[in-house]
Amino acid sequence: MVYGFVIQGKAQNIDVLKTFMIFIKHQQESRQAVSNLYIASDFAAMFLGSGMTLNCSQPTTKALLDAFSKDMFNFSTMRPVNSLNTPTNVSIHFTLYGILDVDEKAQILDTLIWLTMKWQIEFLSWDPVECGTSSITLPRKMFWLPDVIIDEFVDENNAPETFYVSVSHTGEVADSMPVEVVSSCTLDIYEFPFDSQNCSYTFRSWIHNADEIQLSFGEHVEDMLNMSKNVMVTKGEWELQDMGAFEHASANTGEITRYQLTYSIVLRRQSTMYVVNLLLPSFFLMTVDLVSFVLPPQNVDRSAFKMTLILGYTVFLLLMNELLPVTGNTIPLINVFFSLCLALMVGSLLETILITNMMCGSIRDLPLPNWLRVLFLKYFALLVCMGKMNSNSTSSQNQESCGQEPPVSCKGGHLGTREAEDSPTTDPSLMELKRLGEELQAIQTHLEKPDTVDQNAEDWMHIGLVIDRFIFWGYIFFYTISLVTILVKWTTIYSGAHHDEDH
């Protein structure tokens, strides 16, 4: 009626009439497109009904392909459902075939999986007897494919491409393909090299919401774990420990809800190489440094020996630096262990220098504070199981170690004095000899007294020995705790690995 009214009005402005006719034409095309969409949907629902059975002229592959070409390949651009209000159920499962790389610095996990997705074409079926087969393999481009992605993807898929899907006589489509999953993963290397990593693969549809595509598990996660362990050929220093799975729905931008399937993969690092190449050499060097406490603390050779050990340990850490993981999030516990070992070696060297100065240097001439004497000689000495040291033995040992010779008694003094006393003469020369003999006897008596050693220097030496013993016991405590902890951790991991293999 609108069209007729405009034409019968005999409008004088021809340009306005032409413009209005173009607008009417566009409106007709738009309405026709929308009308065609609803007509196609209604036609598909009426024509397909509850299903479509392919008719084969004979039980041959060619006859089945002719039936597909005639009835099915025209619906590859739409979801294979009778009504668009019906969701398509897509089942997903995969087999972990190889662990290609774990980059701790970039926080990336690179794996190769065999991914299988299955869905149902509601309006497809055929008689296996009439068509001669219960399944057929056809090009993937001929069918509708679900737009399922992995959220953790950070790089392209470099796996070989496949071009075919398998279709069964019930209408089930199985799409299997290899996928190289380069995914982001939060890697915690605090317990390196005894660490385990938990990474996730989250599958979801890119476009379709929960009312259009619903995701489900294709197989039990226990079966997927066992199959992955049986077929895995590339794993390097990592081994598959466990797998988990759960499904949930998430609301994205615009409050669009989509189904998600999340698979968790637990990987465990094989620590044997790191124990042999990192921990054992470090323990050997610490053992040598520990044995060096047997050397006299005031001996100069002990300081030179410890400096050589520190130099060797530093070179060892530089050479083994490539084996240590690097990340900005956390510092591995093994790095703290190496730093403590180096700190103990440096501390033992500084302690040796201090004790050498106490026993042979100028510090023993300084007055010893009373609080320091009580703290070390009364409390610390008991703590490290040291009793009161003998003054003579301590002073004699210190003099020999510092290059001093013990005093030599002068026996000639008695002889000269006795001869001078027996002689009744008053010769001046004899009187001078008598005086000299008395002086020598006084010097000899002073040197033979047991209290001639300076008590202040003796206390400094005693404090030096207490400090040396205290550092020695602290070294043994740290060494024992570290060794026991590593052995327990290593044994626990290997017992768990053998337990998993038995099951």
Q: CA 107, CA 327: separation in Å to the nearest integer? A: 8
**Token digits for 30?**
């738009």
Contact 360, 402 (CB under 8 A): yes
Helix axes 391-401, 333-360, angle to 10 degrees: 100
Closest Cα partner for 350 from 296, 401, 303, 391?
Answer: 303
Kindly provide the b/e burial profile for residues 243-278, where b requires at least 16 CB atoms within 10 angstroms of the residue's own CB.
bebeeeeeeeeeeeebbbbbbebebbbebeebbeeb
Contact 175, 114 (CB under 8 A): no
Q: CA 293, CA 276: separation in Å to the nearest integer? A: 26
Q: CA 220, CA 93: separation in Å to the nearest integer? A: 9
Q: CA 393, CA 72: separation in Å to the nearest integer? A: 106
> Which amino acid does the sequence have at 66?
D
Q: CA 502, CA 49: separation in Å to the nearest integer? A: 53
Domain boundaries, the chain: 19-48, 61-270, 275-409+448-502
Closest Cα partner for 486 from 236, 282, 325?
Answer: 282
pLDDT tens across 15-24, in order?
A: 433 443 444 4
Cβ count within 10 A of residue 447? 13
Q: Worst-scoring range by mean pLDDT, 284-288, 295-299, 391-395, 420-424?
A: 391-395
**Residue 331 or residue 151, greater confidence:** 151
Contact 296, 402 (CB under 8 A): no
For the chain, the average pLDDT equals: 77
Q: Report angle CA 185, 272, 94 to the nearest 5 degrees.
A: 40
- Please tell me the CATH code under which domain 61-270 is placed: 2.70.170.10
pLDDT tens across 67-115, in order?
A: 888 767 667 788 889 888 899 999 999 999 999 999 988 899 999 999 9
Contact 221, 265 (CB under 8 A): no
* Global confidence as pTM: 0.68
Cβ burial of 4 (10 Å; 0-12, 13-18, 19+) is exposed
Q: CA 454, CA 469: separation in Å to the nearest integer? A: 23
pLDDT at residue number 137: 92
Q: Is the predicted pLDDT of residue 174 greater than 70, yes or no?
A: yes
**Residue 416 or residue 221, greater confidence:** 221
Helices (H), 72-155: 128-131
**Residue 403 or residue 284, greater confidence:** 284
Partners of 250 in the β-ladder: 258
Q: CA 122, CA 83: separation in Å to the nearest integer? A: 10
Give Cα 268 to chain centroid, integer Å: 9
- Phi first, then psi, for residue 202 (nearest 5°) are -110, 115
**Token digits for 32?**
């026709």
Partners of 248 in the β-ladder: 260
Closest Cα partner for 2 from 32, 18, 22, 24?
Answer: 24
In this prediction, what percent of the chain has a pLDDT beyond 90? 29
pLDDT tens across 360-419, in order?
A: 766 666 777 788 778 888 777 777 777 654 444 444 444 444 544 444 444 444 444 444
Helix axes 455-502, 391-401, angle to 10 degrees: 80
What is the average per-residue pLDDT within 195-222? 92
Give Cα 389 to chain centroid, integer Å: 52
- The residue behind tokens 């609108």 is 2
- What radius of gyration, in Å, describes the C-alpha atoms of the chain? 46
**Token digits for 388?**
């009161």
**Token digits for 436?**
């000299």
